[in-house]
Amino acid sequence: MTSRAKTKSHSATEKPKSSKTRKARIFELLKAEHAEALGMIEEICENGETMEDAERLEKFDEFRAALMAHSQAEARAFYAPLKEAASEPALVLEADVEHIVVQRLLEDLSSPKLDAERWMARATVVMELLEHHIEEEEGELFDLAESECDEETLAKMADDFEAEKERLTEIVA
């Protein structure tokens, strides 16, 4: 998989990394799913033009299902308790909005009315938004969670995330 190089340097105003080691399981769970979802949309964007419509849509459906399950579980198990714990929840509220924007674009992409060129243009924007969202999530939001949540809360986030994923998978199956 060729992924876009993340060469963007962090801004000079970025807060120094927290002294914690970011070992909590919730971070690993989220990061693994981010990598998976990004890989899926990158493949669609790189090879979608040469795919048959049916193949492209099949790959897109897989991506959409994975991303929606991730976003829903994340919103309930990670964003919601983080909003409660954080003295300044603005970053989490922004992340919520980004979830909504991506979801709307995914709905567009499910429309049979789009021709391949326009479909690919939207898919590319989804990929770019996702890259941005994940970069901020794994940076600023993980930092916020580490500095404002105790170990017990972080552990509960991981348990709840897994339980929520399992529940969503059962609904789809």
The tokens for 96 are 């919520």
Instruction: Please count the residues of this chain forming the interface with Fe ion, following the rule CB under 5 A.
Output: 2
Q: Report the residue number, 74 or 164, with the smaller CB distance to Fe ion.
A: 74
Residues 124-153, interacting with Fe ion (CB under 5 A): 137
| Terminal Cα distance for the chain, rounded | 28
CB of 117 to Fe ion, least distance (A): 29
Looking at beta carbons only, is 131 or 137 nearer to Fe ion? 137
- Rounded least distance, CB 61 to Fe ion, Å: 20
**19, 21, 26, 30 alpha-carbon torsion, rounded to 10°:** 100
Q: In this chain, which residue has its C-beta nearest to Fe ion?
A: 74
Binding mask 18-57 for Fe ion (x = CB under 5 A): ----------------------------------------
Minimum distance from residue 99 beta carbon to Fe ion (Å): 6
Q: Give least dist CB 100 to Fe ion, A.
A: 11
CA distance 72 to 50: 32
**How far is Cα 13 from Cα 30, in angstroms, rounded to an integer?**
26
Q: Which is nearer to Fe ion, 42 or 137 (CB)?
A: 137
List binders of Fe ion among 64-103 (CB under 5 A): 74
Q: Is the CB of 74 or the CB of 146 nearer to Fe ion?
A: 74
Question: Please, what is the minimum distance in Å from the beta carbon of residue 30 to Fe ion?
Answer: 5
Report the alpha-carbon distance of residue 154 to residue 25 in Å, rounded: 8
User: Of 27 and 119, which has the nearer Cβ to Fe ion?
Assistant: 27
* Residues at the interface with Fe ion (CB under 5 A): 74, 137
